[in-house]
């Protein structure tokens, strides 16, 4: 079930922007919807698409927000995910979007809508468009039919090609505050059977680790991530103390996958930077280890790690052996242990 915009109060100002532009007949052909992973970009975009095709949008709620009626023929097709004038494309994780996939979208954009007043194309993760795919999409943005709207979704911190960015109106989605996120999460989790309901402490932990990005917290609670993360952290700690081999320590990270591994290690490196600057760690479970590393390392080491993770992410698209990457990254971390450094800096780096 898609939660409506009413249940996502942190997205209301962005919604109002769309509403106002629509009412003024000035909706841009290209909208770059940006925001943190798990903030609700995809749901927002699908709600917008629903509003754009609805024949009888209605005002609702205290603030008289304009929303899809949910009754008309168009809304029925949207609810069944079979609307012929809405095309949504989401690439596989860490994979670039292929040119032929974009060409299909561009072909879809040509010609009149089949049943609605407009066509809507959603590209989830426009930051995964490479130059060739971007250029293929550019044509659609440069010579837009009057009745086509492109919603490009961009994850914060992942660059989108400047040629695409410059042809879109940017719409940034903010994160909710803790209470908004907690309420949304509670409503979503209510659908689970009783025995699968996560405890309150786990919910709070997930929200904290997700930086209040509600979809991300939901993922953490429902895909076994918290447990995997505990095992990965345990392996990490013991590897740093030389109690495990790198292959043993890397196992839970490999189970987790490269993207979550990078995200987790990035969050630790960011905590290390915070601690080095006299701040507090966000990840309480890793804090003790990280405090030790912050005491024994100059602050630039954390930035060096963050750079390495960024490079690893960029290379991930072409990486032939992602399973070895976890080991390589763990060895980078171990280079921060004072005993390792004394034994010789020759091989590290
Ligand atoms: Zn409708």
For 220-236, the pLDDT digits (tens) are 999 888 899 999 999 99
Measured in Å, residue 154 CA sits from the centre of ligand 1 at 27
Do 123 and 257 share a structural domain?
no
Measured in Å, residue 332 CA sits from the centre of ligand 1 at 54
Do 143 and 34 share a structural domain?
yes
- CA-atom Rg of the chain in angstroms: 23
**pTM for this prediction:** 0.80
Measured in Å, residue 79 CA sits from the centre of ligand 1 at 10
Tell me the pairing of strands 65-67 and 58-60: antiparallel
Tell me the pairing of strands 30-35 and 169-172: parallel
Dihedral, 118, 56, 123, 191 alpha carbons, nearest 10: -160
Enumerate helices (H) and strands (E) in the chain, giving the number of each: 16, 7
Residue 95 lies in a domain: yes
**Which uninterrupted H or E stretch holds 35?**
strand 30-35
Measured in Å, residue 51 CA sits from the centre of ligand 1 at 7
The CA-based angle 142-102-317, given to 5 degrees, is: 120
Task: Residue count of the chain, please give it.
Answer: 349
What's 192's DSSP letter?
S
Residue 23 lies in a domain: yes
133 neighbors 152 (Cβ within 8 angstroms): no
Residue 192 lies in a domain: no
Measured in Å, residue 110 CA sits from the centre of ligand 1 at 24
Measured in Å, residue 278 CA sits from the centre of ligand 1 at 54
Do 156 and 40 share a structural domain?
yes
Please state, as a whole number, how many other Cβ atoms lie within 10 Å of the Cβ of residue 199.
8
Do 120 and 256 share a structural domain?
no
Measured in Å, residue 45 CA sits from the centre of ligand 1 at 16
- Number of alpha carbons in the 13 Å side-chain half-sphere of residue 207: 21
Measured in Å, residue 69 CA sits from the centre of ligand 1 at 4
Do 252 and 157 share a structural domain?
no
Measured in Å, residue 53 CA sits from the centre of ligand 1 at 7
Do 276 and 135 share a structural domain?
no
CA of 167: how far to CAs of 16, 50, 147, in Å?
21, 23, 16
Which residues form the domain of 320?
Answer: 224-342
Do 267 and 139 share a structural domain?
no
pLDDT value, residue 341 = 61
pLDDT value, residue 319 = 64
Residue 297 lies in a domain: yes
Measured in Å, residue 126 CA sits from the centre of ligand 1 at 28
- Tell me the pLDDT tens digit for each residue of 38-74: 999 999 999 999 999 999 999 987 778 899 999 999 9
Residue 16 lies in a domain: yes
Please tell me the total count of domains within the chain. Answer: 2
38: left (phi over 0), alpha (psi -120 to 50) or beta: left
Do 158 and 10 share a structural domain?
yes
Residue 120 lies in a domain: yes
Do 162 and 19 share a structural domain?
yes
Do 326 and 239 share a structural domain?
yes
pLDDT value, residue 278 = 94
Residue 286 lies in a domain: yes
Burial grade of 287 (CB within 10 A; 0-12, 13-18, 19 or more): middle
Residue 35 lies in a domain: yes
- Give SS3 for 256: helix
Do 68 and 148 share a structural domain?
yes
Do 124 and 23 share a structural domain?
yes
Q: What is the CATH number of the domain that holds 144?
A: 3.40.50.300
Write out the chain's pLDDT in tens, 349 residues: 345 788 899 999 999 999 999 999 999 999 999 999 999 999 999 999 999 999 999 998 777 889 999 999 999 999 999 999 999 988 776 677 788 888 888 889 888 899 999 999 999 989 888 888 888 888 888 877 778 999 999 998 888 999 999 999 999 999 999 999 999 999 999 999 998 899 999 999 899 888 899 999 999 999 888 899 999 999 999 999 999 999 999 999 998 888 889 989 999 999 999 999 999 998 889 999 999 999 999 999 999 999 999 888 878 766 667 778 999 999 999 999 987 665 544 444 3
pLDDT value, residue 1 = 39
């Amino acid at each position: 079930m898609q939660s409506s915009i009413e249940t996502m109060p942190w997205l209301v100002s962005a919604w109002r922007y769309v509403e106002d532009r629509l009412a003024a007949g000035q909706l841009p052909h290209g909208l770059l919807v940006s925001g943190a992973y798990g903030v609700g970009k995809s749901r927002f975009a699908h709600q917008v698409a629903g509003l754009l095709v609805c024949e009888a949008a209605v005002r609702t709620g205290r603030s008289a927000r304009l929303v899809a009626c949910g009754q008309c023929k168009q809304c029925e097709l949207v609810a069944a995910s079979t609307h012929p004038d809405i095309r949504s494309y989401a690439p596989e994780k860490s994979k670039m979007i292929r040119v032929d996939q974009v060409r299909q979208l561009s072909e879809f954009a040509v010609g009149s809508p089949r049943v609605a007043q407009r066509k809507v194309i959603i590209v989830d993760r426009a930051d995964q468009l490479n130059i060739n795919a971007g250029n293929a999409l550019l044509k659609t943005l440069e010579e837009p039919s009057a009745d086509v709207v492109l919603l490009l979704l961009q994850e914060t911190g992942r660059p989108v090609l400047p040629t695409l960015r410059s042809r879109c109106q940017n719409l940034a989605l903010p994160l909710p505050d803790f209470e908004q996120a907690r309420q949304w999460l509670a409503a979503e989790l209510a659908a689970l059977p009783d025995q699968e309901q996560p405890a309150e402490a786990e919910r709070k932990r997930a929200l904290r680790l997700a930086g209040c990005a509600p979809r991300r917290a939901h993922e953490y609670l429902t895909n076994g991530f918290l447990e995997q993360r505990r095992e990965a952290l345990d392996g990490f700690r013991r590897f740093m103390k030389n109690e495990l081999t790198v292959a043993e320590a890397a196992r839970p990270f490999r189970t987790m996958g490269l993207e979550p591994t990078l995200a987790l290690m990035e969050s630790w490196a960011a905590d290390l930077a915070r601690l080095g600057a006299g701040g507090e760690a966000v990840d309480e479970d890793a804090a003790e280890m990280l405090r030790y590393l912050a005491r024994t390392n100059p602050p630039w080491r954390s930035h060096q790690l963050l750079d390495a993770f960024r490079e690893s992410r960029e290379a991930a698209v072409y990486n032939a052996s992602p399973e070895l990457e976890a080991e390589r990254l763990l060895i980078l971390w171990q280079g921060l242990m004072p005993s390792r450094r004394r034994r010789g800096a020759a091989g590290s780096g």
